[in-house]
Amino acid sequence: MTTFELSGHDHIQLNQLLKLLNLVDSGGDANQTIVSGQVKVNGKTELQKRKKLFAGDRVYFQDQEVEIIGEG
């Protein structure tokens, strides 16, 4: 499992997270991946490209699991 720290922010958008962690090649790929039903948030398929993720949320994509954590 990977963790992603929300540095100075209270949330991150799902499509931004996928791109920042290099799980996809581009923002367009992130959006397509999400709307095609390949990403789960907290165990449920998520179709919102700009879904806000907060500390405690978990994102599942392919064989990756990412936990969102707060600062420090």
pLDDT in tens, 43-67: 999 999 999 999 999 999 999 999 9
pLDDT surpassing 70 at residue 11: yes
- pLDDT tens-digit series, residues 26-45: 999 999 999 999 999 999 99
Q: Following CA atoms 57, 52, 72, 9 in sequence, which dihedral angle do they give, to the nearest 10 degrees?
A: 180
Question: What domains can be seen in the chain, in order of their start residue?
Answer: 2-69 (3.10.290.10)
Q: Residue 71's pLDDT band (boundaries 50, 70, 90)?
A: confident
The pLDDT value given to residue 46: 98
The pTM of this model reads 0.94
